Structure 1
Amino acid sequence: MNIAVIGSGMAGLATARILKDAGHNITIFEALPGRGMDSHSLEFEGGLIDAPLRVMNPHLWKNTLSLATHLGMTTFPVRTYMACSWLFEDKTETWLTTSRTRIGNFPIINNRKGIKQYGWRLVKGMLQLKTAIHQFFKSKNQDITLAEFINHNEIEEVFWHGAVMPVLYTICTCDPKTIGEWPAKPLLVFLKQLTDGDALLRLNGGTPAFVDKLIQGIELHSGSAIQHVEEQGDQVVVRNEDGDEFLFDKVVVATPTTKLEDFLNKDQFAEDIKLLKQFKFEDGELVMHTDATVMPPNRKDWCVLSYMMDRQFTKQQFTVWLNSIEPSLVGKTPVFQTWRPVTSIDPKKVISSVTLTRAVVDSQTVALNKEIQERHKQPNRKVFYCGSWSCDGLPILESAVTSAMHIAQIFGAPLPFEGLKPKVEVAPQLGY
């Protein structure tokens, strides 16, 4: 079959790759002038800045890593140490730094202040959280939000807001208030699996290398947004802003649902649009820069992840120190990614600033996803939808790949990568 895939994020590229390998003729359409998934990545002093930086837990990103392995990619382990700092009006004070044990890769506190002032509260909070998670999964009522979970359980504030929530900000990359509205279950599953001691992995060559593999041998039309999609008889007409018109047997739409009204025929797809508009999305700013004020004041406290927050936990930001996690940047000028900055970043030190759209999970998401899957089963259906937003769980790369696998099953395409273990190599430049 001739199949169009609209959108070249992870879901679109994975769908295209799987269907191409199954023998279908695939054409990808991308509004941006390039490939959507790595459109914000750039070169810095001969090294790679992935925007956003992507690291993966082998349990939580198992399908993504299996697909990468199937395509011949290798990974290397990274150690995501963390520093937490209080934001005062006139200064920044680091109160916690962590590292990991050599055996088991478990997180530990490694600064005196963190142990002396907050050690017992952090340990107490960890035990409280483990108990609360255990009780949650034994209970019959798991249909609650994260905020309700916290309200129902006593967990040390400094542990929850100072150590746990920053991790969730890193993964979910959405507003802290929004996370509280998410269903508790997928977030608690994530926290439970994240603490199993496995090292996080990064793909050799980063996102651009992955995209190269995913798109190999597939036709790509980029730089012109899709303007119209309409069914005509047994085929689907796709037209872009340049006026180019194409005919396909099937179309897979792999874009945020906020954009569907821009091109889907409003009469033919009225019910789909009505359903898909109920998914929520949120924009956030990601800044790539060389301003070290986003890091702890003392260089010895610098860690891969730097979290800054006020004492009331009303302002939070997190920063990734890229040189400590990307081999090609080792020895270069310190360079950072800051998500939703609340502190001032020197404009002269900004390399790039991008707005990223992220799906938001709420109590309706599961029901909406179920309805989408049911509609995909309709006989003679020609247009399908996928994306990180269209699967249960966290809307991350893994859910995007899982959504592509759902589409593959509809088309009867094999999934030869399922169950493959990542190939792990050491990156000696990182020093471990």
Structure 2
Amino acid sequence: MRIAVIGGGIAGLTAAWQLSRQHQVTLFERHAVPGFVASSVTLDGDLAGLRVDVPLRVFYPGYYPTLTRLYAELGVATEPVDYATSFSGADGGLYFRWRNARWGGWSVPYVWPQDLAHPRARRIAAGALRFQRRARAALAAGALNGASIGEFVADERIAPEFVDGLLLPAIATIGTCHTEDARAYPAPVVATYAAAGLARHSVRRACDGADAVAARLLAGIHQVHCQAGVQAVRRSPHGDGSGSVQVQHARGDEAFDHVVFATQANQALALLADATPDETATLSAFRYRALEVVMHRDPSLMPTRRADWSPVNARVCAEHPQPESTIWINRVQPALRDADPIFQTVMPQRAPREDRVIGRARFERPLVDTGNTAALAALQRLHGQPGRRVWWCGSYAEAGVPLLESAVRSAVGVAGCVTRAVGVDPSLHRPT
């Protein structure tokens, strides 16, 4: 079978790699390199040639089992990193912080007594303990379905200092969304994430970054077209019940037996020239939020006191719709340990000095709310239709926080759908 995969993010690379084991797969990518590494930055000067992932690609095994298995099958070496986090206000002053005690692959977050000197910090810590107890109990009892996290914490009367000072900024930082978007997150999604071992497993990264992951996946793909400029996709049914799918791109038109969209849902809808009403309604139900990531060397975006710097530093201000998160790259990429400070700021509230900027990247991230359950169910119904030849995968296409895990999990699922559609055992294509 000839199969086209459109989009070279982690979902597209994974789907193409899996399907290439049995089929002739062509990957189309609009960037000059696969999207998974298209925004990464190459440093210069004394660090010439060293690459930094943009955005930073980290994971922890408890919430990323499919990604963890994929890395193991690819032979991608990973290492634990310190992901301790500080929370500061508009004045740059620290108001809460947790640190990590790590032993091998295990990690235990803790708070120093001096970090609890202020009453606000103590109320945040107490709220965190109450939230963990109540959320775990409600999740186990199946009592969270249909509720947003904002509704849950209000009903449980969780301390506002914790909710506004830590919980919502943390969700917004992980999901790269606005604070009110975070408040609308489904309570089961947040509770499941919190219960999946974040307090036990170390955050990890691929030792050689996203480039190593992309290289291994690309090595197994039949054909890769970068700067492909896909313009439209349309189905061409034949009278005998068979069919093909036409992909119109910068180099001409090609016919494929199946096409997998590994793009955002809104981008897939724009490319699918003959979308049915059901496809249009389903893909339109997924919403996105634009965001910016800036690589720079400006320490003014960090907490005011150098002693308060953590690997991850959140700035939470009521006058901004989203928290600002600045990652101290030197603390999470060992090759930069002794270099001058380098930072990656996500959803910046302030602009770093232009002469300190290394690079900028802009993305759109899927939003998650209680309406996503219906949209995901509709997507699964589409995938279950007999004779289907067009498919979708991406971080938006699986339940949970839209991260690398959901992207890879959806790619594995779609590869299984395609292989079943053409009569091949899908178990042959799953990471083990």
TM-score between both structures, scaled by the size of structure 2: 0.90
Secondary structure, in 3 states, of the residue corresponding to 1:105? strand
1:298 alignment counterpart: 305
1:107-126 residue pairs with structure 2 within 5 A?
107-110=109-112, 112-126=114-128
Secondary structure, in 3 states, of the residue corresponding to 2:232? strand
Could you tell me how far apart the structure 2 residues matched to 1:139 and 1:252 are? 35
- Seen in structure 2, the aligned counterparts of structure 1 residues 111 and 298 have a Cα distance that, compared at 3 Å, is farther
**1:18–1:413 CA contact under 8 A, matched in 2:** no
1:245-324 residue pairs with structure 2 within 5 A?
245-266=253-274, 269-310=276-317, 316-324=323-331
Quote the offset at 1:156 in angstroms: 2.1
Secondary structure, in 3 states, of the residue corresponding to 2:427? coil
**1:66–1:417 CA contact under 8 A, matched in 2:** no
Quote the offset at 1:290 in angstroms: 0.7
Tell me whether 1:189 sits opposite 2:192 in the alignment.
yes
Q: Percent identity?
A: 28
1:199 alignment counterpart: 202
Tell me whether 1:334 sits opposite 2:341 in the alignment.
yes
Q: 1:229 aligns with which of 206, 230, 233?
A: 233
Secondary structure, in 3 states, of the residue corresponding to 2:426? coil
Q: 1:127 aligns with which of 115, 122, 129?
A: 129
2:37 alignment counterpart: 38
Tell me whether 1:388 sits opposite 2:357 in the alignment.
no
Could you tell me how far apart the structure 2 residues matched to 1:184 and 1:75 are? 31
Quote the offset at 1:364 in angstroms: 2.0
Secondary structure, in 3 states, of the residue corresponding to 1:107? strand
Tell me whether 1:238 sits opposite 2:242 in the alignment.
no
**2:395–2:407 CA contact under 8 A, matched in 1:** yes
- Seen in structure 2, the aligned counterparts of structure 1 residues 380 and 139 have a Cα distance that, compared at 3 Å, is closer
**2:395–2:403 CA contact under 8 A, matched in 1:** yes
**2:66–2:409 CA contact under 8 A, matched in 1:** yes
1:213 alignment counterpart: 216
Could you tell me how far apart the structure 2 residues matched to 1:388 and 1:398 are? 8
Tell me whether 1:14 sits opposite 2:14 in the alignment.
yes
Select between 129-138 and 296-305 the one with higher mean Cα deviation.
129-138
Secondary structure, in 3 states, of the residue corresponding to 1:87? coil
CA deviation string 1:86-113 (max 9, x = no partner): 213xxx2123333223566221123625
Secondary structure, in 3 states, of the residue corresponding to 2:248? strand
1:413 alignment counterpart: 426
Quote the offset at 1:13 in angstroms: 0.8
**1:405–1:415 CA contact under 8 A, matched in 2:** no
Secondary structure, in 3 states, of the residue corresponding to 2:292? strand
- Seen in structure 2, the aligned counterparts of structure 1 residues 368 and 172 have a Cα distance that, compared at 3 Å, is same
Quote the offset at 1:56 in angstroms: 0.7
Quote the offset at 1:348 in angstroms: 1.4
Secondary structure, in 3 states, of the residue corresponding to 2:117? helix
Could you tell me how far apart the structure 1 residues matched to 2:189 and 2:383 are? 24
**2:136–2:191 CA contact under 8 A, matched in 1:** no
Quote the offset at 1:345 in angstroms: 1.4
2:422 alignment counterpart: none
Could you tell me how far apart the structure 2 residues matched to 1:182 and 1:126 are? 18
CA deviation string 1:238-289 (max 9, x = no partner): 111x2411111111111111123432123x5343123211111111111111
Question: Which residues of structure 2 form unaligned runs of 5+?
Answer: 420-424
Secondary structure, in 3 states, of the residue corresponding to 1:18? helix
Could you tell me how far apart the structure 2 residues matched to 1:119 and 1:227 are? 53
Quote the offset at 1:150 in angstroms: 1.8
Secondary structure, in 3 states, of the residue corresponding to 1:224? coil
CA deviation string 1:168-211 (max 9, x = no partner): 22320111111111211111110122444111111111111101
Count of residue correspondences: 413
- Seen in structure 2, the aligned counterparts of structure 1 residues 271 and 126 have a Cα distance that, compared at 3 Å, is closer
Secondary structure, in 3 states, of the residue corresponding to 1:226? coil
Secondary structure, in 3 states, of the residue corresponding to 1:144? coil
- Seen in structure 2, the aligned counterparts of structure 1 residues 330 and 347 have a Cα distance that, compared at 3 Å, is same
**2:297–2:357 CA contact under 8 A, matched in 1:** yes
2:4 alignment counterpart: 4
TM-score between both structures, scaled by the size of structure 1: 0.90
Q: 1:62 aligns with which of 65, 76, 80?
A: 65
Could you tell me how far apart the structure 2 residues matched to 1:407 and 1:77 are? 30
- Seen in structure 2, the aligned counterparts of structure 1 residues 408 and 311 have a Cα distance that, compared at 3 Å, is closer
Q: Which has the higher contact order (CA 8 A, sep 6+)?
A: 1
**1:70–1:417 CA contact under 8 A, matched in 2:** no
**1:252–1:385 CA contact under 8 A, matched in 2:** yes
Secondary structure, in 3 states, of the residue corresponding to 1:371? helix
Quote the offset at 1:116 in angstroms: 4.3
- Seen in structure 2, the aligned counterparts of structure 1 residues 312 and 117 have a Cα distance that, compared at 3 Å, is farther
- Letter matched to residue 279 of structure 2: D
Could you tell me how far apart the structure 2 residues matched to 1:193 and 1:274 are? 33
Could you tell me how far apart the structure 2 residues matched to 1:143 and 1:315 are? 24
Could you tell me how far apart the structure 1 residues matched to 2:155 and 2:170 are? 21
Quote the offset at 1:333 in angstroms: 2.2
Tell me whether 1:51 sits opposite 2:54 in the alignment.
yes
Q: Please report the RMSD computed on the Cα atoms of aligned residues, expressed in angstroms.
A: 2.0
